[in-house]
Structures are given as structure tokens and as C-alpha cells.
Amino acid sequence: MIVIIDYKMGNLGSISNIIKKIGHSSVISSDIDVISSASKIILPGVGSFEKAMSNLKEMNLIPVLNQKALVEKTPILGICLGMQLLTNSSEEGDVKGLGWINAKTVKFKISDFPDLKVPHMGWNDTIFSTSHRLSGGYHDDPRFYFVHSYHAVCESDENVLTTTKFGYSFASGIFKENIIGVQFHPEKSHKFGMQLIKNFIEKC
């Protein structure tokens, strides 16, 4: 069972719809028993890092998510803010993240690029830094849709899944074992996003 975590911060319907389009089904839930039964988990997110962590704590979702991610090794995909929550901390607030991947979330620093404006918004080329189960099946070079002002910085390049250039090259995808995060929105990225979600469901 694929569970999309509802912690009042995500674009849940669009993710559910793209999963349906590729022939699979999912459940949107914040119920601990449902999450405990998940074979795969998607952690979406739009908004503030601090508010997101507060919601997860208030809904008592962090213990079950830790159990699934760190003990049971359930495949987990964090999307946009959901990816940032996988890191240790964010410059957007003073709270700790889930800390599943040794990285921090920082705001874009583009003062050297006067033609660019934050947030980074729109389509952008994305390069897989390593061979991974998410990296196959693309008939064209993958491009994804982004809307964000912050991005992850990994302590080790071993955790960088994809890179994208916005002024400078940044980690647009991160991973560690069963845990994957992407800064872009696959649910808004048409055929490229469908392929990525298909890879996650069928190969991870």
C-alpha cells in the first residue's frame, strides 16, 4: 500500500492523481495504523519548514515515520518541502528536521546572478549524479518543474541523487538507502514526473 502522508502541508490530490495515471493506487492518510501498514510512503510538502515539523509533531507522526524509515527500511519519497524535512535543519526556522539524511537546507544565495530571482520557479534540466533505480526509463533528458527558495546541501556527495543549475549547481535530489528526496514537483512534471513516480513505485 502506497501512503501519501497528510500533515496539512502538501499537494496531496495531484500526487494521488499521477499515481492513478500510471496504474497504481494510493491512500492519503494521517492515521498511524494506516502508515504503519504502508509498503511505500510519499511525504509531500508546500510551505514553511518550521510549520511542517510542528504539524508532524502535533499529529504524533514522527515516531511512526522514524520506525518506517529507519527500522523497517520502507521506501520513502519526500517531495519539495517533504525533501527538505529529511535534512537535519533549515535556515527557514530554528527547528530540527527529521535528520534522516546528513544535510542542511539553505536559502538560495544568488547575489552574484542579478538576472535571477528567488524563488526558483519553472522547468529546469536535471542530471542524475549516480545510477539509481529512479534514473532509468527516460527517453529524453529529464526536466522537472520547480518552485522553491531553499535547497539541500549534503555533507557528502554520496547522498546527492540529482543536480540542477540555478545560478550555481545545487542538489535537487538526495538519497540514503531507502530514503529519497526530490526538490522538484514530479506531480507537475508531466512525462518526466510520471516516469520518476513509476520508478519509485515499481523499482524501489
Q: pLDDT digit of tens for each residue in the chain (204 aa)?
A: 999 999 999 889 999 999 999 999 999 999 999 999 999 999 999 999 999 999 999 999 999 999 999 999 999 999 999 999 999 999 998 999 999 999 999 999 988 888 999 999 999 999 999 889 999 888 889 999 999 999 999 999 999 999 999 999 999 999 999 999 999 999 999 999 999 999 999 999
Catalytic residue, from 80, 92, 120, 151: name it. 80
Catalytic residue, from 72, 139, 185, 202: name it. 185
Quote the cell numbers at residue 167.
545560478
In whole angstroms, what is the distance from residue 147 CA to residue 143 CA? 13
Q: Which residue ranges make up each domain of the chain? A: 2-203
Write down the pLDDT at residue 130.
87
The model's pTM is 0.96
In whole angstroms, what is the distance from residue 121 CA to residue 97 CA? 24
Spatial neighbors of 119 by CB under 8 A, at least 6 apart, are: 108, 147, 148, 149
Measure Cα distances from 112 to 108, 135, 166 in Å. Answer: 11, 32, 11
Does the annotation count 50 as an active-site position?
A: no
Does the annotation count 177 as an active-site position?
A: no
Catalytic residue, from 92, 148, 151, 187: name it. 187
DSSP state of 119: S
* 194 burial type by CB count under 10 A (0-12 exposed, 13-18 middle, 19+ buried): middle
For 29-54, the pLDDT digits (tens) are 999 999 999 999 999 999 999 999 99
Spatial neighbors of 154 by CB under 8 A, at least 6 apart, are: 101, 102, 103, 160, 171, 174
Write down the pLDDT at residue 147.
97
Q: Is 150 helix (H, G, I), strand (E, B) or coil?
A: strand
Quote the cell numbers at residue 183.
526538490
Does the annotation count 80 as an active-site position?
A: yes
CATH superfamily of 2-203: Class I glutamine amidotransferase (GATase) domain (3.40.50.880)
